[in-house]
């Protein structure tokens, strides 16, 4: 069977990557409808060698659409996803709007595909930094029960969207030619800098991005007892989020145990050869599908502790690819319908 598929936010950083992933995986659509704001109506996008015209997303745009892949920002999803679901279209939403809603499964297909079984029309795609950490942590949790996670992230500007990619490019160019820089998307210069703020600050002193990692982890793992604390940092990298993760487990796992376990787990490539100076780096993960894991070590300061370094392309596994893998899993499980 083939499906009518809408890509909502088709002109954005993630939407453009969704079109690439649909093509690369030969996703079974009979019709593709790229949607964006009125600003982009009439623009052309390509998929599977065919040109498609972008249409303005409106409340009645979803009649006859089977699957809508949303990446057009939180407020747009809040407004349009319910309209889509009401007209019988299954929404896979990449924004943060629906993630913690009890009616919406929050899914990483390698981790909790079974949660798709109870969807009611809107399925949420987790935050990019959460997704790659889940791919790495799930096999360890199943084997040794994770008690606590301490994570620090090094996140690429593409996570913010197309305008932020351009801002880093422009700032680098201006600085290299001795001109003053303008910060518009970010509160400070991002070129040659690190910003320990991603998204807005909350009352508890953490940022919203940090709290997404905390809250989304327990929902995806289906285990409220896992404790997570996070520090999220924006770095001047275009594509690929990196994470330093410290894990405390109930049972003992050696570094060799973890390497063997993760090497046979889905979606993971181990790159851990210190003698060859080989470890995951965003420049190598960019454009790839896997989550790369290296620097696996036992934490010598506690009884059952591990350290590792996790890198993945935030636009692919962190967004477009995971969204499309969710849609593929819906098809496999015969769940492309709104109950």
Binding site for ligand 11C (CB under 6 A): 95-96, 127-129, 155, 159-160, 198, 209, 212, 314
241 is catalytic: yes
Of residues 160 and 246, the one with the C-beta less far from ligand A2P: 160
Rounded to an integer, what distance in angstroms lies between the CA atom of residue 111 and that of residue 94? 17
77 binds, among ligand A2P, ligand 11C, none (CB under 5 to 8 A by kind): none
Catalytic residue among 8, 47, 128, 232: 128
72 is an interface residue for ligand A2P by CB under 6 A: yes
The footprint of ligand A2P on this chain (CB under 6 A) covers a number of residues equal to 17
Closest CA to 317 of 280, 281, 292, 283: 292
**Going by C-beta distance under 8 Å and a sequence separation of 6 or more, which residues neighbour residue 145?**
249, 250, 251
Cα distance between residue 18 and residue 12, in whole Å: 10
Q: Report the residue from 23, 37, 261, 284 that binds ligand A2P according to the rule CB under 6 A.
A: 37
Smallest gap, in angstroms, from Cβ of residue 129 to ligand 11C? 5
Dist. CA 193–CA 196, nearest whole Å: 10
The one of ligand A2P, ligand 11C, none whose footprint includes residue 32, by CB under 5 to 8 A per kind, is none
The encoded tokens of residue 202 equal 């909350």
Nearer to ligand 11C, 210 or 272 (CB): 210
Strands 50-53 and 44-47: antiparallel
Residue count of the chain: 339
CA distance linking residue 132 with residue 188, whole number of Å: 27
Task: Let me know if 128 is a catalytic residue.
Answer: yes
Residues at the contact surface with ligand A2P, assessed by CB under 6 A: 9-13, 15, 36-37, 39-40, 57, 72-73, 76, 161-163
Active-site amino acid positions:
128, 241
């Amino acid at each position: 069977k083939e499906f009518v598929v809408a890509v909502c936010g088709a002109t954005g950083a993630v939407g453009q990557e969704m079109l690439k992933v649909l093509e690369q995986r030969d996703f079974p659509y009979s019709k593709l409808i790229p949607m964006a704001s009125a600003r982009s109506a009439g623009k052309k996008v390509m998929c599977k060698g065919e040109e498609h015209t972008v249409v303005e997303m409106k409340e009645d745009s979803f009649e006859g659409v089977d699957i809508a892949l949303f990446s057009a920002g939180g407020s747009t999803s809040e407004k349009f996803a319910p309209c889509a679901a009401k007209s019988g279209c299954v929404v896979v939403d990449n924004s943060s709007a629906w993630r913690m809603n009890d009616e919406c499964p929050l899914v990483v297909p390698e981790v909790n595909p079974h949660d798709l079984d109870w969807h009611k029309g809107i399925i949420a795609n987790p935050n990019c930094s959460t997704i790659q950490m889940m791919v790495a942590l799930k096999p360890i949790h199943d084997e040794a029960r994770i008690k606590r996670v301490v994570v620090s992230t090094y996140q690429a500007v593409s996570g913010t969207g197309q305008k932020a990619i351009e801002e880093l490019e422009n700032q680098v160019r201006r600085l290299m030619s001795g001109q003053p820089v303008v910060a518009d998307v970010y509160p400070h210069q991002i070129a040659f800098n690190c910003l320990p703020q991603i998204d807005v600050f909350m009352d508890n002193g953490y940022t919203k991005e940090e709290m997404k990692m905390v809250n989304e982890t327990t929902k995806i793992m289906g285990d409220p007892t896992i404790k997570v604390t996070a520090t999220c940092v924006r770095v001047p990298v275009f594509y690929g989020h990196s994470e330093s993760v410290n894990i405390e487990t109930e049972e003992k796992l050696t570094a060799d145990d973890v390497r063997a376990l993760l090497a046979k787990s889905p979606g993971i490539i181990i790159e851990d050869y210190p003698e060859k100076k080989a470890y995951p780096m965003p420049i190598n993960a960019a454009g790839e599908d896997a989550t790369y894991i290296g620097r696996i070590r036992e934490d010598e300061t506690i009884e059952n502790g591990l350290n590792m370094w996790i890198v993945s392309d935030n636009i692919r596994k962190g967004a477009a690819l995971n969204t499309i893998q969710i849609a593929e899993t819906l098809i496999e499980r015969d769940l492309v319908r709104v109950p």
